[in-house]
Every structure is written in structure tokens, then in C-alpha cells.
Structure 1
Amino acid sequence: MKSILFGCIISCFILFTACSTHQTVTESDPFPPSSPDHSGMWLMPQLQGELYELLNERGLTLTEDEIYSNTEPSLHRAITRINIGNEGGGTGSFVSDQGLILTNHHVAYDAITSASSTDHNYLINGFYAQTAKDEIPVPGYTVHIPLEQIDITNEITSRLDSELTYQEEAEQIEVIKQQLIEEYTTDDADITAEIDDIWSGNRYILSSYQIIRDVRLVYAPEEAIGKFGGDIDNWMWPRHTGDFTFLRAYVSQDGTAQEYQPQNVPYQPDYTLPIKNGLLNPGDFTMTLGFPGTTYRQESSYAFDFYEHRQFPVLEKAFRAYLNGLESVSSPQDGNTEVAAEKASIANTLKYYNGIREGFEKHNITQQKSQFDDRFYEWVKSDSLRNLKYGRVLQQLEQSYSIAGQTGDVLYLSFYALQFSKILQAASLFDEIYSTSPDDEVQQSDEEKLMMYDFFRQLHQAYNPDSERIILRDLLFAFAELPEDRRPLIYYRFFDGAATDELQHELQQFIDRQFSTSVLTDTSAARDLIFSEYNPSEQSRPDSLYLIANDIHEMFEQSRENYVRHFRYLLPAQKRYVEGVQEMNPENLHHADANFTLRLSAGEIMGYKPEDGVYNLPFTTLSGMFAKNRDEFPFSVPEKLTTYSANQADFSGYENYDGDLMLNFLSTNDITGGNSGSPVLNRHGELIGLAFDGNIEGIVSDYFFIPQLSRTLSVDIRFILFMMDEIDNTDRLLDELRIISD
């Protein structure tokens, strides 16, 4: 599953197939008439009692302490959170005692890109370090090794003052969290801790990690393998990809987590995963451990209604506008690796939101959630004490999202417009100049002017004019599709406001004219304006692009100011809502919404029925990859794989029952973005696959879990071993692995 980097950015910022053919089932193909509900992304402290007994009944043979222990080496210490810069990344796992990490090709995509050069395009050609000295440092990547997850709810509540308002309590909790983190880490630079609100603030979990700051690229297959099917196949089944890469963690010789130094040595983990080279069967137990990003299952029908009608539509339009612009730039096959990485991320996010929206519509998600809230309402009203405690919860949630809905669509669209358009970003540099009046005393030093001009030049150098024209045109058209009272006011100065084909043509002509004259697109004009003596009475008037950009800036600020008002109603009501839902169903095991902390999910290998009369089998093979081959990206089977297949009678112990090489498989594990690279384990805790995606029919489960459709897509470990052994000859790495064969 591609890492979704945009799903929660706005909330944090505001608050403080052509080739997807189906496989037909014959009468002899055993498949279940229905799918069991394997929902649940479980925290480590939950692996006690009832939950463990359930996993044990499904076939798990490991003990609780073998999975998670805060005193002894256990399975959870082999799992790593991979951070890319200040953003989320994905999951990896230690597979050797020399710090070797297995993760997805797409999780390592930025690493492969940064290691590449004009002479060495490792995205296209792949990379293998023949010796340890050849392993390439990758800037911005850090590895977080989980140590403990501790429920500290009582510790926090015991430090709270009495008789606080909700806002006062929230502020004090943040102070207490920081105190507890400082007490826990005791100034150890290699240890970090985070405290997360779980179940909407009803519980608090402290998660601690050991940090590794020196991460190196070791082995990545060529893109024709690691990204076979490209964006076309993303979220789709059947899949035939080798989405894997190996990294390595390094530390200083004294074991501390230094950034890259030539003398650093491989990190020696407490626990490494054994690898199982054996046949898989439908119904086999599967378990994942990883760091799922964000889910929204515990929110109300009012939240879902807001998402469906205010958020999703404008997000789709904003991301589509940006992707349209990126697609006008040269493709990754032309060597533009930076654009390739950005395009892949945006295309993935857009496809995600499209799938979510379609899932909401197809399965009437908001209506189903509304029916649940009706049952909650009846449960509350049936008891006077419950009514006293929860009677106003739904009303308060409705009020909250009524406020959010007033300007939410404007806020999301204006926010992403300012993120995606460098022209709109550049406009703010000229605010001081254009807002100066004849009576103002402007005191801007030559140094400040130089910094301003330098920043403008950096923006200008980073943008492609053709791409920017398309992005801005499509964004302005998206604003025209807002309700009439929410469009930019300046809009009516230049256009008639109607979202029609004629308007799109008019927008294109307008932007073409402005790009030839605007100070926002011309470094010479910008330099003259910035370094000219301020004389407001003679100063040139702002051009049209600046006026539009300034209006969008103002729309964002005004809509944000209105939008944040809803949190004062939402946060306390959401906390009480989740508390009530759990009280209404005391017999159920409740998993918390995902938040990029370590979680376990359990399932089994199983296909699914995407539509009437069609059943998708749970395995794909090399023959299926060859059937998709078009000899051009993204469906181009590498020549060395084609040659090997033509010259070999079998696949040296990596084959399926019928002698074909297994590539990918499906399971019912509950995962989401951030789980990319999660190891898929059998009942003995042995590595059998690598999770890389979810299916398009099931991604709506981020909001409302649908067991009959939600599936995890994984690379069969035997395909990875085959590529290492027979195709890329990575003997040095194979010698590090602990492989268990049938």
C-alpha cells in the first residue's frame, strides 16, 4: 500500500483497470461463500487474554511474550517504522543480525531516487551493493525500533487539576505529556517517545522507540519489477509486482545512533525474522505487524456526511489538477526521477480518494453509519442515567459538523491550491509592496530585499511553466465549481463564474496572457519591483494573477478562522461518543483507530468476490506477469527474467503446485497506509510475504470496514528469494538470511 502522506496533513495544520482482468472460478475451486470479519489493528498491550485466545484459536502458535515483551527480545523488536523526513513513510523488518531491513520498493522510492544520478539511474536499472562499502547512504531516512507501548491514562489523569473546563484540561494534558516524555527518555538522544490519544482521548498510550539515523540502500530490483504495473495497477487485483527493497541500519562503533559516518557499523537487532520458503494455501493463517497511518472508523455519521459531500469532492479536484500538471513534465523513463516520485505519490493519493468516494456511494456508508447512530440514540434514551451522560452527544456532533460544513470545502480547496501552485505561493512575497500606502514608512533593508528575491528565484527555478499553467487552470476551474456564494470574489472580475467548457477555454486564454506579463512569472519584472525605490503613488498596480492569488489567500484565512470553531464542540463530543459506543457494546473487543503506532492484525489467505459472477483467486503467478507484458512501462517484463523463464524447466524450489512461480497473494488482514512494507507472517512467526497494498474495493474500510471486500496484497517471499537467487545473484545477502524450507 502506498504511503498516504496527505490524508491527515490538513487536519494537523488546521487544528493547532486496463490490466486488472478477473480470474474465473470453476466448480473445483474452493472459495468461501462469505468472508470472516478480521477487522482489528491491535495495540501491543491488547495482546492479553481474550484477544490472544482468539488468535490462538485461529492457529497462532507463538506465546504472548514471544510476540511482545517489554523485558525480553520478542517479535515486535524486529519491526521498524521507517520515517522519511518529517513525514510518515512505512514499515520494515529486520531479516538479519547485521541490520538488514526488508521493506517495499515504494517505501524506499525516495532513497533510490536520491542515490541515483544522471549516469546511474537506479530506479530504471535497479541497484545491488556487491560489498558493504558499496551500500549508499540515503539522507532523510530514519528507522524507529519499537521498545514499549504503555497505557499511561491513569498517570495523566492523576496529575490533572480538578474542576477544569474541557479546553483547560486539554492544555494541561499536553503539558503533562511533555513532562512524562522527558521523564521517560531521560535525555537519551537515541530514545524517543510519543504519547497518543487513543479512542478519541479516552485512553493514552506512550510508545517508545530506539532511533537509527544512518540508513543505507543495499538492494533494489529494477523498476520494471519493483513497480510492475505502475499507477495503472495501483490498488488493483490481480497484481504481479516485486515491490521490495533492502536497506541496512548502521550505528557508531559504540552503538549510538549517529548520522552517516564511513566508520559506522551495521546495527545488530535483538530479534530477526526467520524466512519460510514454502507453499501457501487458501485458509493459511496470516499475521502482520506494522505502522498503519490513519483510520476514521470511530467517527459519527455527521463526520462521514461532511467527508462525503464537502471534503472528498474538492480533494479529488485539487489532486487531479496537480497530477495533470505533473503529467505534462517528462516521464521517469526520461530520467526525471524527482518528478517521478512526486507524480507517483500524487497519483496514488488521487486514486485513493476516488476509491474512497466510490466506496461511500456504492455501500451507502454514511447511511449505514447514520443507522448505527440511530441505534446509539435509542440506547441512550432508554436509560435516564445514560441520557444524562450521553444525551447531548449526537446533537453536539451535528452542530460541530454544521459549522465545519459552512466553509470546509473552501478551506480544503484553497489550502491545497496554495500547496500545489508555486505561482500562488509566490504572490505572498509581494504583499508588503502592494499593500504600501503613500503615508507608510517602508523600512526594508537591502539584505531583506535580496532574501526576498532569492526566495522568489528558488520558486521560479523549481517550476515548469507548462505544468504551472495546467495546475492553475484546473484549480481555478475547481473554484468555479464551488457553490456560488463560496467562489473567490475576484473571480467575477475576470470570468462569468459558470463552470462550463467555455469557461475552461477562457481560463486557458487568461492564464496564457498573464504568464507573459505577470510579475509572478518573470524574474526580471520581480527583480525590478523588489529593488525599486518605494514610491506608492507611482507604484504599478498589482497584476491579475497577484489579485487572484491574494484573494485565494484571504479565502483560506477566512475559511480557516470559521472552520476551527467547530473543534470546541467536536472534541469533547467525539470523546464522549466513543466512550458511549464502547459502553453500548461491552462484550466486543474494541480496536483503536490507527495513528502510525505499532499494530498487529490477523487474517488468512483468501480471495474475494468484487462483483456478481466473478471471484478473484488469492494467488498470481509469473505466467500472469508475462500475459500483461507490453514491452513498455509500466508493463515491461525485464529481459533477464524472460530469458531465464525461457531457458529453465522449473523455478528451483520456488514454484507453486503446477510449476509456476508465485508472485503475489491476498489475505484478509486489516491494514492501511503506513503498513507498506509490513512483514506477513505465518502461524509460527515466519516471514511468508511483504504487504504492499490494499485493494480498491476495500479501501473504504479506512472509514467503515467491509470484510467481504477488504484485502491485503502481498509479495510472496518466494518471489523475492527467487529474484535474489536466480536473477540478481545477491549471494552476499542470501547468506545473511535465516531461511527455513519445507
Structure 2
Amino acid sequence: MWLPMLIKRLNYTDMQKQGLQLTAEEIYSVNNSSLKDAIVQFGGFCTGEFVSPEGLLLTNHHCGYGSIQSHSTTEHDYLTDGFWATSKDQELPNEGLFVDILHHMDDVTGKVLEGIDNNTPEEQRQQLIAQRAQAIAQEASENGKYVTYVRDFFNGNEFYLFVYNRYTDVRLVGAPPSSIGKFGGDTDNWMWPRHTGDFSMFRVYTAPDGSAAEYSKENVPYKPKHHLPINIGDKEPGDFSMVFGFPGRTKRFMTSHGLKLEVNQLNKSRIKLREKKLGLWKEEMDKDDATRIKYASKYASTSNYYKYSIGQNEGIKRMRTIEGKLVDEDKFQAWANSSPELKSTYGNVLNDISDAYTTIEKYNLGAVYLNEAVLGTESMLMAYRLTPVYGALKSGNAAAAKKAAEDVKPRVDAFFKDYYKPVDQKVFATLMQSYYEDIAKDQQPAYFKDLVKKYKGNFEKLADYVYSNSIVVDAQKLNNFLSNPTQKVLDNDPAFQIVNAIIDNYRSNISPKLQESEAKLAKANRLYVAGLRLMNPDKVYYPDANSTIRLSYGSVQDYSPQDGVMYNYYTTLDGVMAKEDPNNEEFVVPAKLKQLYEAKDYGRYANSKGELVTDFITNNDITGGNSGSPVINGKGELIGLAFDGNWEAMTGDLVFDPDYKRCINMDSRYLLFLIDKYAGATNLINEMTIVDTDSPGAGDAAKAEAETPQAELLNAVLEEAKQNLQKGKDEFKITKEKGDVKVKLQVKD
């Protein structure tokens, strides 16, 4: 997961050997159009890419799922039926959705760490770093023109500044039905082979002058500096591939002590609590379509990482990851003890890490259950959002309380639109019982323990009391309170008092103990990583992912997950039909897709064998946040859309497995087939640049397309001519104009 600004120095030669045909500047440039200008961070949680000169954006279906769901009703069920805007005026705005486009990044390590060394007291170090990072980011923002931040790398040994343009008018353009976009559902999630059409389409808009602006009917489509041509040629094992995106977070420098905590405490707890919540949600979703729509996005998100935690634990055990870390740590300790100078700095690092984790393990479960059980209950999360209101009321600041209440109001409608009180009450009873039973009693607040005692450990009765008397489970009562907030209401509200008591207890009794150990751990981890790099001076390390833009390169690859089993590198529409089960919502196949399959009406999107490829795999390195990332060939053309990882490499956030790690991608041909043949959205097809590898000069034309209006018009003319010839036309004229450039083509029999 390489930083793109360092590609030229660290990776370019290796990338060329593997099949890259672009220059380093064509991948990352500050002053000229490059691949990085086509990549966006989508909503802060996924990746997207521009595929037309009119701001048309691709991402995964599961990344756009919340937006699709927000526009869905029982009358217009876009989750079930799909959605396609046949003109720009039909595209749907999405409040709160934004995209960030990297303007540039800089190494600011020297500025941040000036005068700081290993002898600087840790508290002073952190204060200086925070102050300097904030000042650097603020100056780079140019009075709010850019979104900026400084992130640490290699566990605090390096620091980089990131400067982004943010656009907040992002409209839904198209999405296939969930039977295509989520085909395989939870059963196939994290698995290969896959047959999922996991994509959705959006468009970014700006003010008429091209500047970022909130939604307005006067806004115009964004003109990206670069958009990706889409290649529909065949792929073969060994073909170069790179993934550009925003991987969320990895912890690959974590020691054996941290891995043990992940496996034995954190993942086990998440699996247990999410399994309970998912079961209760699913039971109600199966009873009623309205409830299914309300909880579809929440269920998918929770389920995704529930299954991930299971796979991660299994993978760590299979790969003997902890045992491998112990070997590495023995080598580190021997190196650290090899001289008095090294020993004075690095000799106690591993002991300090071990000591820190011992304390963290004792108190960390409270943090997990606070997030997964307490705030993992919808009503409790809404109650928590009233905390600023309560704080202002207690301090006697009526104006601040009113302002805090106004800040909550916009969330209320969205909350109750997708809220079903009966199921949330069941979730509350189940998860709060788990909190009471699993968290050490001396780490629980007296208020909560007294309530449990009052209801004699009957959590159904406790839930009845809370949900009959709290304002946060009733839209009218909550809105009335926010219009006239008083401390008395919250003092008497059981949901708020439970959340307030648990959080106050956490902040006063648990968090301080964790903070002390985490500070000790942060210093030891920083020295451990610095020592590893010093110990292995010839090894080129990449930093852990931290939601900043990264590039991964590799190739199209099949793999063998176990003895006697070989997985091919691609799947086809044949597999969709083989999996079809009309009685299982995860494997329903739309009637029109079956008709197209039976007629083999694939058009130009079939491969050289006449198959319609649905998905394929590469050995690129991805993790959460990479969803929606473009998979790009050596010429800079989009060949697929990354959407998942494979079960055998679920340890990816903690350790990279070069033998088993695979990136699961939707094929560009299936994507275009669904837009064109299935949805009939030719308006979208016509604005994209589509390249066939088998056409003479296709790669060169695609490269030139981003450079000159002549080449852009020429590509458009040739594409329209090819479509006419495929339709049997043997005489036609085409004229395309852009500014003072005009391209004409006349074809005669």
C-alpha cells in the first residue's frame, strides 16, 4: 500500500518490469493531469473514480447502498428494482454525501519533529506534534479553501500533509437491483468464486464557475482533470494490475501481544454481540418489507465486519501468524542486545509492549462493549447524541443548550425513517444483558447495576420500562424536547441516564487507566518500528494504511486455497445461473438478466470465448476503504472495480499473505453490459470512453484521450462509427465539435 508521491523513487522500476506502461508522472503529478485526479474518497468510507469528462463516478453498490436505501420506499423500492437516471435532471441528491479529491501531499516530518528526539517526554512530544500538525494543516487549507490534515506514518516516525478539494453535491445516477449488486449476499461475502455486480454510479456537481458548492439546481457537472478509459479486452494471468484507493486501517507492525488481544478478546466479543443483533434484525426484516428496507443498509454494514472478524481469527490460526511474530521478535531482541547503544534505546521495547497490553486487556472490554452493545443499540446512540444538550443545561447556559438541540434536530427525521421500535427494544434487552454479564462489576456504573437489581435481572422488563418512558424512542416527544430542552426531562429519561452513566463511568474510571497504558504502548511501538527499519536497512517498507490515498500493484492471478483445489481467475454469467435459487433472496436472478443470458445477447462485452465475464481476481493489496477502487491495467485503463477480499486471507489487516491474498473485482465488461444491455442506460455509455484491447492503437488512443481535445473527439467519433457498423449501417456521417476543434467522418459503402 504505497504512497503515490513516492512511487517514482521506491517502486517505478519494479512496476515497469511487471507491465506498467505509464510514466511515474502519469500516475502522480501535482502540476499536470494524472491518475490520482480520477480517484476520490467517497463519503469518507469508500473509494470512487471518474469515468467520464462530465463527473460520472463509479463506486461499489455496497458503498452507495445507504444513498440508494435513503431514496427507497415501498412504492419506489430502488433496492429491489434498481435505479437509473436517463437524463441529468433525474439524478438524485444525497444530503451529507461528499467526495474528496487529492490536490497534493507533502512530507512534513522535519517540520513536525523538529527538536524532538527519544529523550523528549512523551506527553510533551504528543502536545508538540498535535500543535504543529494543526498549524501546518491550517496554513495549507488557505482559509478553508481545501480540506487538510496531517497523518502520522510508521507508528509516529514520519508525518505527511494531505490537501484535498471537497465536493458536496453528489447525486445518485444509477444502481442495479440488489439481486445483482449484492448477488450472493452474506453467503458469498468474502468468498471466491463470486458473481456479484457490485457497482453504483454517482455524479459530482459544482457551481457554474467550477467551484465546490452545496446542492443547487443551478449546479453543473464537475469536469475532472482526468477520467479513466474503460477497457473491455480479455485479461490473462500475469497481466499487470494496480489498485488506487483509500484503504482504511491496517496494523501489520503489530506484535504478538497485540495479535493475541485481537483474537482472544476483541474479535470474539464483536462476533458474539453482532451475531445477536443481526439475528434479531433479520427475524423482523423477514416479516415485513418496510422493516426490511429500514434495516437493509444497517444490516449489511454490521454483517460485513461480523463475518470479517470470524475469518480473521481463522486465518491467524491457519497461518500461525502469532508464532511468526514471535520469531521476528526474537530476532529484534537479539539485534537490540547486540550493542550497548542499541540496547539503551531498543532493549526494553518488547517488554514495555507486553506490560502495556497486560493492562489494556484488563480494561479494554469496557470500550468494546460501549461501542458494540451500548452505542450499538439505536436508541442508546440517539440518547448519546443528547449529551452536549445535557452538558449545556447543567452548566446553566440556555443559549448553548438551544444551539446543541438545534444541531441534533436534522438527525431526528433520518433516525426515525429507518427505525423500528419493537426490534430495537429486543436488541437493547439482549445486548445490555451481555454488558451486565460480561463486564467486570467494578467497571460498571452504580446507576445501571441498581436498575438491573430493581428489575431482578429481567432485562425484558427493564427494556419495557426504558422504551415506555424515554423520549428518544418517540419522534414527537424527542422533537418537543429539542424545541424546548430542559434538564429535568433528561434527568428523568431512563435511556439517557443509562448511556450517561456508562459513559461517565468509562471516562472517569476506565479511560484513564487505558490512556496511561496506550501512551506507553505508542512509544514502544514507535521505537519497535524505527528499530525494525534500522535493523533491515536494505528492505523497503510501506506504512500501515490510515485512510490516505495508496497504490497497490500486482497482477491477475488464480490461486489454490487448499490441496487438490484450484480457483480460476475469472467467473462468468454461467455461474450466476448455476447459483440461482428463487426461494433464497441472496440468489434471486432478475428475469431480464436470464433472458439476456438465454439469448447470449452480450454484444461487444463478451470475451474472446463468447463468455460474459462477471468477476476476476488479482493479487493486489486492499482492505476496508478500498471498496470501489478502480483496478487499472498497465496503460491506465479501468479493467474492474475492487469490492472484496478472499476468505483465506482475512488476516490482511494484520499481516499480508503473498500466497493467498486476492482482491475480488467486478469485471468492466459485466459492468458495461449491465448499464447498456440490462438497464438500457445508453446515455451513460455514450459519455464514457470505452477501449477494446484488440483494436489497433487502442492503448495509445486512450492515453492521448486525456491529453488533447482532438484525440478526445476522435475517440468519440470512432466509437460511434463502430456502433453504427455493428448495427449494419454502411453509410453515415459523424461530426463532433469542441471549442475550435472539429472532427468529421464520412463512411460510404
- Classify 1:585/1:118 alpha carbon distance in 2 versus 1 (closer, same or farther; 3 Å): same
- Are residues 1:725 and 2:680 paired? no
Which position in structure 2 is the counterpart of 1:413? 369
* Alpha-carbon distance in 1 for matches of 2:369, 2:561: 32
Q: How does 1:585-596 map to 2 (within 5 A)?
A: 585-596=536-547
Question: Residues 257 and 353 of structure 2 are in contact (CA less than 8 Å); yes or no, is this contact kept in structure 1?
Answer: yes
Q: Which has the higher contact order (CA 8 A, sep 6+)?
A: 1
TM-aligned CA distance change 1:50 to 1:568, over 3 Å: closer
* Residues 423, 734 of structure 1: alpha-carbon distance in 2 compared, 3 angstrom cutoff: closer
In the alignment, the residues of structure 2 paired with residue 446 and residue 176 of structure 1 have an alpha-carbon distance, to the nearest angstrom, of 33
Q: Is this contact kept in 1: 2:42–2:99, CA < 8 A?
A: yes
CA deviations 1:648-697 (Å, max 9, x no partner) are 4x522322344221000111000001111111011111111000111122
1:245 CA drift (Å): 1.4
Decide whether the 8 Å contact of 1:414 with 1:555 is kept in 2: no
Is 2:300 the partner of 1:340?
no
The CA distance in 1 between the partners of 2:198 and 2:626, in whole Å, is 13
- CA distance in 2 between counterparts of 1:560 and 1:656 reads 57
Could you tell me which residue of structure 2 aligns to residue 8 of structure 1?
A: none
* Shift, 1:206, TM fit: 1.1
How far is the alpha carbon of 1:511 from its aligned partner? 4.7
2:620 paired with 1:660: no
Residue 194 of structure 2 aligns with an amino acid whose one-letter code is R
- The answer to whether 1:676 aligns with 2:655 is no
Question: How has the CA–CA distance of structure 1 residues 655 and 520 changed in structure 2, closer, same or farther, with 3 Å as cutoff?
Answer: same
Q: 1:616 aligns with which of 563, 567, 571?
A: 567
TM-score by length of 2: 0.82
Deviation, structure 1 residue 627: 0.9
Q: Distance in 1 between matches of 2:282 and 2:641?
A: 30
For structure 1, the residue ranges without an aligned partner over 5 or more in a row are 1-40, 435-440, 497-502
Q: 2:85 aligned with 1:125, yes or no?
A: no
1:350 positional shift = 1.1
What do the CA deviations read for 1:95-120 (whole angstroms, capped 9, x no partner)?
A: 11111111111111122223334432
- Paired residue secondary structure (2:186): helix
- C-alpha distance in structure 2 between counterparts of 1:342 and 1:680, whole Å: 27
CA contact 1:423–1:520 (8 Å) conserved in 2: no
Contact 2:452 2:459 in 1 (8 A): no
* Contact 1:329 1:339 (C-alpha < 8 Å) held by counterparts: no
The answer to whether structure 1 residue 251 and structure 2 residue 234 are counterparts is: no
Paired position in structure 2 for 1:707: 658
Matched residue, 1:149: 105
What amino acid is the match of 1:387? K
Contact 1:695 1:712 in 2 (8 A): yes
Cα distance, 1:249–1:484 mapped onto 2, change above 3 Å: closer
Cα distance in 1 for residues equivalent to 2:686 and 2:398: 63
Q: Please name the residue that 1:115 is paired with.
A: 71
- Aligned CA distance change for structure 1 residues 695 and 428 (closer, same or farther; 3 Å): closer
Give the superposed CA RMSD: 3.9
1:226 aligns with 2:181: yes
Q: What does residue 199 of structure 1 align with?
A: 154
Q: Residues 518-529 of structure 1: matches in 2 within 5 Å?
A: none
Q: CA deviation at 1:257?
A: 0.3
Q: Output the CA distance in 2 between the equivalents of 1:567 and 1:142.
A: 33
Asked if structure 1 preserves the Cα contact closer than 8 Å seen for 2:284 and 2:291, the reply is no
User: What's the CA shift string for 1:120-157, capped at 9, x where partnerless?
Assistant: 22221111111121112121111111121211111223
Which residue matches 1:738? Answer: 689
Secondary structure of the corresponding residue to residue 206 of structure 1: strand
Partner of 2:276: 321
Partner of 1:296: 251
Structure number with higher helix proportion: 2
Q: Is 1:573 matched with 2:529?
A: no
Three-state SS of the structure 1 residue aligned to 2:228 is: coil
Q: CA deviation at 1:270?
A: 1.0
1:97 aligns with 2:48: no
State the one-letter code of the partner of 1:682. Answer: N
Q: Give per-residue Cα distances to partners, 1:595-637, cap 9 Å, x unaligned.
A: 1111010111112222332222221110100011112422111
The alignment partner of 2:48 has SS state of strand
Q: How far 1:91 moved relative to its partner?
A: 0.7
Separation of aligned partners in 2, 1:406 and 1:333: 43
Percent identity over paired residues: 32
1:76 matched to which residue of 2? 36
Question: Deviation of residue 549 (structure 1)?
Answer: 6.2
1:466 deviates by 3.0
Tell me the secondary structure at the aligned position of residue 48 of structure 1: helix
Residue equivalent to 2:554: 603
Partner residue in 1 for 2:172: 217
Contact in 2 for aligned 1:359/1:697 (Cα 8 Å) = yes
Structure 2 unmatched runs, 5+: 695-749
1:500-515 residue pairs with structure 2 within 5 A? 507=458, 510-511=461-462, 514=465
Number of corresponding residues: 682
Alpha-carbon shift at residue 706 of structure 1 (Å): 1.3
* TM-aligned CA distance change 1:733 to 1:474, over 3 Å: same
Structure 2 CA distance for partners of 1:225 and 1:592, relative to 1, 3 Å? same
Residues 509 and 257 of structure 1, relative CA distance in 2, 3 Å threshold? closer
Amino acid at match of 2:250: T
Taking structure 1 as reference, are residues 522 and 305 closer, same or farther at Cα in structure 2, changes over 3 Å only?
A: closer
Q: CA deviation at 1:67?
A: 0.9
Mapped contact 2:294–2:417 kept (Cα < 8 A)? no
Q: 1 CA distance for matches of 2:479 and 2:138?
A: 48
Name the CA shift for 1:139/1:555 in 2 (closer, same or farther; >3 Å): same
Note closer, same or farther for the CA distance 1:556–1:325 as it changes in structure 2 (3 Å cut). Answer: farther
Q: Distance in 1 between matches of 2:503 and 2:605?
A: 57
Q: In the alignment, is residue 640 of structure 1 matched against residue 596 of structure 2?
A: no
User: What is the letter of the counterpart of residue 605 of structure 2?
Assistant: Y
CA gap of 1:397–1:113, structure 2 versus 1, over 3 A, is same
Equivalent residues in 2 for 1:345-364, closer than 5 Å: 345-364=301-320
CA gap of 1:333–1:662, structure 2 versus 1, over 3 A, is farther
* Partner SS state of residue 648, structure 2: coil
The separation in 1 between residues aligned to 2:26 and 2:531, in whole angstroms, is: 34
CA deviations on 1:52-91 (whole Å, 9 max, x unpaired) are 11111111111111111112111111111112xxxx3211
**Contact kept in structure 2, 1:160 and 1:173, CA below 8 Å:** no
Secondary structure, counterpart of 1:663 in structure 2: strand
Match of 1:560 among 511, 515, 518: 511
Bigger shift: 520-529 or 147-156? Answer: 520-529
- Contact persistence 1:689–1:716 (CA under 8 A): yes
State the alpha-carbon separation in 2 of the partners of residues 365 and 178 from structure 1: 37
Amino acid at match of 1:569: K
Q: 1:365 offset after TM fit, Å?
A: 2.2
TM-score for both structures, normalised by structure 1: 0.83
